[in-house]
Chain A
Amino acid sequence: MKIIYFAWLKNITGKDQEIIKNVNLKDVKSLKKFIIKKYPKLKIHFEEKNLIRVAINLKYTNINIKLNQNDEIAFFPQVSGG
C-alpha cells in the first residue's frame, strides 16, 4: 500500500511517501500501530484526538476500515487552506 504524509508529519517521517508491503496490515488500526512503531515520535500526535486525520483512497475515514494492498493511505494534520 502507498502511504503519504503531509505538512509537518513529513518532518517526523523524513519522507513524503513510502510503499509498505505487509499482508498483516489488514485495517487502519493495525497500520497506525505499524507506523507508530516505525516512527515513535508520531505516537503522541496520533494519541491526541483529531490531530491526525486519515484518508483512504482520497476519502476521509475515522473508523477502523479494512485495507487492501493497493490502497493509498494519507496521514495529515488539521487542514488550513483558504
Chain B
Amino acid sequence: MIKIQKKDFNIDIEIKKIKLNYSNIGATSIFLGNVRNVNENQKVKFIELEVYKDMAIKTLDTICLKAKKKWNLIDTLIIHRYGKLNINDKIVLVAVFSSHRKDSFEACNYIMNYLKKDAPFWKKEYYNKKYKWL
C-alpha cells in the first residue's frame, strides 16, 4: 500500500491495519525518516516537501513490485508526507512484512534506497533568513 499524505500518521495503527489481513507475518522491518534540526552545519527551522503525486505513487508501486520479485514478501507499506514539516516530524515510513527477517530487512533497505533515488519528492529547507532546495 502506498499513501502520500499531508497529515501525520500513527505507526502502530498503520502496521496493525496491515497485519489484520494476514496470519503468516513473522517479521516486520520498518524504516522511519524524520526531519533533522541540522543539515550541513546549518540550523534547520522547518522543511517543505513538494511531490509529483501521481508519479510518486506509480514509482513507489513499481519499486515495491520489484522488491516482491527479489524477496519473499507478504506485503509492503509506504507512507510519505508532503507540505510543511517541523523538526522531528515524520517524513516517511517504509514497512516490509515477511515470514522471516532476512527478507524484510533486505527489502526495506532496497525500497528505501530506490525511494531516495527515484521517487519524485523535493525538500526545501528553511534556515534563519533563507531557504535552499536540496
Seen from chain A, the residues whose Cβ lies within 8 Å of a Cβ on chain B are 4, 6-8, 55, 58-60, 74, 76-77, 79-82
Q: Is B77 an interface residue (CB 8 A)?
A: no
- Known contacts A58-B58, A81-B123, A82-B115; 5 additional CB pairs below 8 A are A6-B50, A6-B52, A6-B122, A79-B117, A81-B51
In the complex, 10 of the A-B residue pairs with CB atoms within 8 angstroms, ordered by the A residue number, are A6-B50, A7-B124, A77-B122, A77-B133, A79-B116, A81-B51, A81-B91, A81-B92, A82-B33, A82-B92
Question: Taking the nearest CB of chain B, how far is it from the CB of A61, in angstroms?
Answer: 12
Q: Is B118 an interface residue (CB 8 A)?
A: yes
Find chain B residues with CB under 8 A from A59 CB: 55, 58
**CB-based A-B contact count at 8 angstroms:** 62
Instruction: Determine which residue in A6, A58, A59, A79 has the highest number of CB atoms from chain B within 10 A of its CB, and name it.
Output: A79
Seen from chain B, the residues whose Cβ lies within 8 Å of a Cβ on chain A are 33, 49-52, 54-56, 58-59, 80, 91-92, 112, 115-124, 133-134
**Is B116 in contact with A81, judged by CB distance below 8 angstroms?**
yes
Which chain A residue has the least Cβ–Cβ distance from B80? A81
Interchain CA distance A11-B55 in the complex, whole Å? 21
With A58-B58, A60-B118, A79-B118 as known contacts, state yes or no: A4 contacts B123, CB within 8 Å: no
* Cβ-defined partner of B116 (8 Å) among A7, A58, A82: A82
Instruction: Determine which residue in A4, A59, A60, A80 has the highest number of CB atoms from chain B within 10 A of its CB, and name it.
Output: A80
* Cβ-defined partner of A79 (8 Å) among B58, B121, B124: B121
Find chain B residues with CB under 8 A from A76 CB: 52, 120, 122
**Is B119 in contact with A6, judged by CB distance below 8 angstroms?**
no
Interchain CA distance A66-B115 in the complex, whole Å? 27
**Is A4 in contact with B119, judged by CB distance below 8 angstroms?**
no
Question: Taking the nearest CB of chain B, how far is it from the CB of A71, in angstroms?
Answer: 13
With A6-B50, A7-B133, A8-B133 as known contacts, state yes or no: A81 contacts B55, CB within 8 Å: no
Which chain B residue has the least Cβ–Cβ distance from A10? B50
Interchain CA distance A76-B118 in the complex, whole Å? 12
